[in-house]
Amino acid sequence: MLNITRGPTSKKRLTMEWKYPVFKPAKAEPSKSGNATVDAMIREALTREAAYEILSEDDRRPLLIMRECDTCKGSDDALLSRSLANDTTILLSHWFRCVKLPLHVLEEDHPFRNVFNEKNPPHVILARWDGSDPVVFAGDQSQGVLWKSMYKVLAREYDDDPKKVIRQLQKIYAQYDRIDGLKETLRDRIEAEEERRGPRSNKLPKLRKQLAKLDKERDELIAKEEGIRNLALREVDPK
């Protein structure tokens, strides 16, 4: 397998953007114990519809929900592979609203318990913003199987072709790595020149100009990436 080492620009931008929703239960009627007033909080499972409304907020992107367990707590192991490059998964995830729910979400009175009403609760769910048309995974799925479902959901929810955009993004990330490699070489040359001839070396302005040119090229690529990432959601039918 070809081992691709990503540069700092790619590593910084290839990150999962998780949401960690919290539902604040309503207060019970005040009760008195002696002279103290206790405002007890009522915690109970919301309906599936109400839970999804909170998970989505006003975001109408499709949902990618990951439930933590004892094994994967604090990591993305239920979604990402330990042995393969996860670039495609992460790039595809940017068109989902990614929600991570805690280990105790399966407690009977947890507000989001009914998101997982299956007999064997999944670790990963892909669904529309309202929870309809869910695709579930146990957490041991291959990246290829996951991509196939992610592409299918995105093709249904967006007007643009996600496969075409992913190919464009992959080319941009290759350019990030090329630029970062050239920048590292230039910085080494600048450092060596300063040690050899001092900070007033007549070669330094040219080297620094080349470095600035690469920074500008990288910034232009970032702007291009953000532009082509902006896929158009299909119109949502009012309910």
pLDDT tens sequence across 82-137: 655 689 999 999 999 999 999 999 999 999 999 997 788 999 999 999 999 999 99
Pick from 5-19, 40-54, 72-86, 129-143: least confident: 72-86
- With 50 as the cut, is the pLDDT of residue 167 above it? yes
Q: Helix, strand, or coil here: 203?
A: coil
Residue 3: the pLDDT is 46
Residue 149: the pLDDT is 97
DSSP code string of 175-187: HHHHHHHHHHHHH
Residue 89: the pLDDT is 95
- With 50 as the cut, is the pLDDT of residue 161 above it? yes
Q: Bigger pLDDT: 73 or 61?
A: 61
Residue 70: the pLDDT is 80
Residue 84: the pLDDT is 57
Please, what's the b/e burial string for 68-99 (b: 16 or more CB within 10 A of its CB; e: otherwise)?
A: beeebeeebbbbbeeeebbbbbbbbbbbbbbb
198 is written with which tokens?
């001092």
Query: Which of 109, 110, 93, 92 shows the shortest CA–CA distance to 101?
Result: 110
- With 50 as the cut, is the pLDDT of residue 41 above it? yes
- With 80 as the cut, is the pLDDT of residue 166 above it? yes
CATH architecture of 8-20+45-157: 3-Layer(aba) Sandwich (3.40)
d(CA 98, CA 33): 43
Query: Which of 61, 54, 133, 48 shows the shortest CA–CA distance to 97?
Result: 61
Confidence of residue 177 (pLDDT cuts 50, 70, 90): very high
Of the chain, the percentage scoring pLDDT greater than 70 comes to: 88
Domain ranges in the chain are 8-20+45-157, 162-229
Residue 117: the pLDDT is 79
Residue 74: the pLDDT is 72
Name the pTM for this structure.
0.86
Helices within the chain (DSSP H only):
8-13, 48-56, 87-93, 143-157, 162-197, 204-229
